[in-house]
Structure 1
Amino acid sequence: MLKLLSTTLLLSSFIYANNVSEKVEDFLDDKFMENPRLKSVDVTVSDVVPLKQLAGWNAYIVDVEAYLKAQPKRLIKQRMIWFSDGRIITKELTDMQGGESLTDLVKPPFKDEYYKKENLLFGNPDAKHKVAIFSDPLCPFCKGFVPGALDYMKKDPKKFAVYYYHFPLERLHPASVHLVKAAAAAELQGDKNVIEKLYHVQINPQERDVKKILKAFNKAVGTKLTPKDLNTPAVIKQVNRDLDIANAVMVGGTPTIYLDGKVDNTKKKYLKVQ
């Protein structure tokens, strides 16, 4: 009887979770379609995580696919987290005791499959610690962090395997979109040190002229890339792969650092590992 009761409770919880997931999807579908710039939106709950801190509440990991009216062939993908108890829905919840955002506690982990050999900047793949860095080369915070962090970890290849992922913040730094394509093109041509040189490119972050951006890039990196080199299938594939991984683990800003599969909001833990 107890086993039957437990099974019934589990089934009830599953059905309830499914019902709320559908409510979350329907609500967000309607909410996002209020944006006049969107042609269509598809919202899917990919995972549900119960909140230990708040009984009756779950975190809903939501995948959103949308098309813009101005660019009907361009598919925009985004993963986000929403919280709901089945009646109320909110984007943010913060633990008042520890001050932690519950969003950070339920973000997807950095899976082993995301450590691509193409993203290995330096270090032994079997090193004691794996570090993943998502960065925009024109982000002021990245400029102040990434070069020093790379220089520190590069000295100990048995301790650190460092993986680098392009994450240009197009709305803030339009020029970074062309810069990361140029970096990918240079990497594909065999330049193994392009990422370290990338942070020495002198260009206005708001620049949109690809010729001006390439001139600054070629000067800093020592390449002779042309605009045509930035749009090859191989370059587009490499940049999109990085963006897909960033979306999968819900990277929202730069620099974002993962140490051994877990996001490091302090960005300093690599200094303390043994």
Structure 2
Amino acid sequence: MSLMSKLLMSTVAATVALSANAQPDNKLLLKYVKKAVVKNPEVKVKGVTVLESKTDERLPGWTILLTTMDLEYQKKEIHAPETMFVKDGLVTGHLVDLKTGNDYRDNIKPSVPQSYYNDDHLLFGNKDAEHKILIFSDPQCPFCQELVPEIFNTAKENPTKIAVYYYHLPLLRIHPVSDVLTRVMHVAQHEGKMDIVEKIYSLKINPRETDMTKILSAVKTQTGYSVTAAQVNAKEVKEAMKADEIAAGKMMVSGTPTIYIDGKWDKMRNGHKNLIK
């Protein structure tokens, strides 16, 4: 069971009456989260932020609230995503199709804000390209290593068709080495060395390595890129990593690679292939 599961322990049957309208106020949402979503008494619920309110033609009458819960656990701030379905004064975190077993919370993501498509995150392709692909990724994630370089190449070969916007989401519990690697990638990108960002995806290294000297040495040996600990540890680099983490939270991203094409979640992760037909 993941840490987040232990913190929240939400259930399919958790429903509470809210109000007659489809948009309950924040106090009622907070009450719902405290009563039905966060079951761990050690976790303090500080607030709930509605990121987006939307509807879905598959769920007539339901309003879908995509939210972030602001929590505190062992003196650490945690911003956890939570999907809520609201209808006729009721709210639940799960809506399951009995015929298919499909839980709609697993198929709904926020829309990408226009502000996410900025020059700092543009990796490949032209910013006025016909299509925009936004990626949250960890270079040590096996699925990312298989798929993300392919998307990079597609954008490089079709720069007027596809622009790739890249956000770092290192999965540190699984790949501690990605803490340093993603910062190396950030420094390289802002030096205009996009090829280094791509080469990091084929780097051979122990995913649990945390010794910065060893990591930077491996990067230099395998990619030819020399970067100092001071550059990687710079305040602005760490702030950029934190900003990417916050951006992932607002998009309710929990795994990698998470990919959006023209603002919509590409659940099957193969939509880029249809852009160049």
The verdict on a shared fold, with TM-score over 0.5 as the criterion, is yes
Q: Which residue of 1 aligns with 2:28?
A: 23
Q: Would you say 1:156 and 2:161 are equivalent positions?
A: no
Shift of 1:48: 4.0
Shift of 1:115: 0.5
Distance across 2 between alignment mates of 1:210 and 1:31: 43
Q: Deviations along 1:17-64, whole A, 9 cap, x unmatched?
A: 455753332232356765365466433445444565445644332222
Q: Which residue of 2 aligns with 1:270?
A: 272
Q: Deviations along 1:107-149, whole A, 9 cap, x unmatched?
A: 2111221111111111111111111111110101111111122
Instruction: Count matched residues.
Output: 258
Q: 2:65 aligns with which of 47, 60, 66?
A: 60
Amino acid in structure 2 at the alignment position of 1:246 = A
Amino acid in structure 1 at the alignment position of 2:162 = F
With 211-220 and 160-169 compared, the bigger mean Cα shift is at 211-220
Distance across 2 between alignment mates of 1:253 and 1:185: 23
Q: So what's the TM-score if we normalise by structure 2?
A: 0.79
Q: Which residue of 1 aligns with 2:40?
A: 35
Q: CA-atom RMSD, angstroms?
A: 2.9
Q: Measured at CA, do residues 39 and 24 of structure 1 come closer, stay the same or move farther in structure 2, by a change above 3 Å? A: closer
Distance across 2 between alignment mates of 1:268 and 1:50: 25
Distance across 2 between alignment mates of 1:82 and 1:213: 42
Q: 1:231 aligns with which of 211, 233, 243?
A: 233
Q: Deviations along 1:212-248, whole A, 9 cap, x unmatched?
A: 2222223233233333322212212222222222222
Structure 2 alignment gaps of length 5 or more: 1-17
Q: Measured at CA, do residues 44 and 246 of structure 1 come closer, stay the same or move farther in structure 2, by a change above 3 Å? A: closer
Q: Measured at CA, do residues 207 and 108 of structure 1 come closer, stay the same or move farther in structure 2, by a change above 3 Å? A: same
Q: Measured at CA, do residues 204 and 30 of structure 1 come closer, stay the same or move farther in structure 2, by a change above 3 Å? A: farther
Q: Which residue of 2 aligns with 1:9?
A: none
Q: Determine what percentage of the aligned residue pairs are the same residue.
A: 34
With 219-228 and 170-179 compared, the bigger mean Cα shift is at 219-228
Q: Measured at CA, do residues 209 and 89 of structure 1 come closer, stay the same or move farther in structure 2, by a change above 3 Å? A: same
Q: Measured at CA, do residues 237 and 56 of structure 1 come closer, stay the same or move farther in structure 2, by a change above 3 Å? A: same
Q: So what's the TM-score if we normalise by structure 1?
A: 0.80
With 175-184 and 212-221 compared, the bigger mean Cα shift is at 212-221
Bigger radius of gyration among the two: 1
Q: 1:207 aligns with which of 206, 209, 218?
A: 209
The answer to whether the Cα contact below 8 Å between 2:64 and 2:86 also exists between their aligned partners in 1 is yes
Q: Measured at CA, do residues 249 and 40 of structure 1 come closer, stay the same or move farther in structure 2, by a change above 3 Å? A: closer
Amino acid in structure 1 at the alignment position of 2:214 = K
